Amino acid sequence: MSDLYVSSGFDQASLPPFGPIGIISHTANKEFVKSVSDVIFSKRSARVEKKSNPYVNSPGYCRSDYIIDSTFNRYDNGEGTFSLLESVRGHDMYIITDVLAHSYSYELVEGDHVISPDDHYRDLLRIITVLKGKAKRINVIMPFVYEGRREKLDSHRESWDCAEMLKKLYELGISNLIIFDPHDGRIENAVPLMSIEYPRCQFKLTSSLLNRFSSIKLDKDNTIVVSPDETGVSRAIFYSSHLNLPLGIFYRDRDYTTKINGEHPIKQFKYLGDSVKDKDILLIDDMINSGNTMLSTAEKLKNYGAANIYCLAPYGLFTGGLSVFDEAFEKGIIKAVCCTNLIYRSPELLQREWYVDANMIPYVARIIEALNLDESIYDLINSTTRLTDLASQIRIGELFETKDE
């Protein structure tokens, strides 16, 4: 029988699970991880009831809780240990980590120490070393990649931490690393033989925003996609091309002959693109750090006569505090800020009128299930088709309800 004939009858839905799913909640976003587990249970319970595939009665296939009991202890000097409280032998393990979580602290010397991304990464390695040799497979879901903001070396006198982190995970035998919307996907060149997947957040960000503001019209006469700088233009092009909207870019002309506080000062801040007068703006970036870039760009656009400005980014760090966004909202500079729940969000942020939270829980659960079957996830992590379909559902300001992935 030819390989071609075998492939033509291949059905991924009939693949057996790689092993019982086990999930470890690494950091402070434990409610997120618990919700992912609940979604998997709900979907698998429905399959068991319908007997939709021959593996629904496999040991460990359907459990009310896929989270593995574990504990993490921190000593007075700051060192820590991770311990499993149940067996993971033969399990397909998924560690969900948020290296940006800043809601945990411990007493160190004479004050509290907030756990940093460096601490989270060190703790992740502890978990992996405990699982290694016991679990059947280890997968890491790290939405915001540790040290991933440095896509290139400016000097050989600087550390290249992201590459070293990826090499370490590869050496420890990680089977799959899932990173959402990295700052620069070229980081995978550090480990060309490692399986790294880059799911996109664009569909969920857009649909969440439109579900909150049904007045947004996704057509070239009413809305423009804008990138706040030239480094994020590829991300803005993705939105622009698949939503069929005009694209505008801000270009920062810098003085490369001098440095102030480690950065080259900006001589001119130019807008390149169609007129934004009376147009709604989708302001796109890969993250909101302090908010200076987003808010200064939004203020410029307002001065050019833009109507409502909606800021979209997968990650909202808000390291400069929320007050600057409160002020921009009160002044009418921004209409809303939409980010995902892939990282920790403070209760204060979730209460803000201008904040829109894009729920990625069903998406993460679907990715785990697909990997557990060794199913191809190319179509799943590619937002192209879904984003185009979403745009086609818009009819004169009316948005048909979109379903969770």
pLDDT at 393: 60
Q: Express each pLDDT in 145-161 by its tens digit.
A: 998 876 566 667 777 78
pLDDT at 152: 62
Give the pTM: 0.88
Of residues 309 and 150, more confidently modeled: 309
On the question of pLDDT at 401 being above 50, the answer is no
Residues 40-48 have a mean pLDDT of 94
Confidence of residue 9 (pLDDT cuts 50, 70, 90): very low
pLDDT at 69: 93
On the question of pLDDT at 326 being above 80, the answer is yes
On the question of pLDDT at 8 being above 60, the answer is no
pLDDT at 3: 42
Most confident stretch, 75-79, 115-119, 261-265: 115-119
pLDDT at 258: 74
Least confident interval from 67-71, 88-92, 249-253, 360-364: 249-253
CA distance 264 to 253: 10
Give me the domains of the chain, ranges plus CATH numbers: 10-197 (3.40.50.2020), 203-358+379-392 (3.40.50.2020)
CA distance 71 to 30: 13
- Which among 95, 81, 89 has a CA at the least distance from the CA of 24? 95
pLDDT at 295: 94
Residues 133-147 have a mean pLDDT of 94
On the question of pLDDT at 2 being above 90, the answer is no
On the question of pLDDT at 383 being above 80, the answer is no
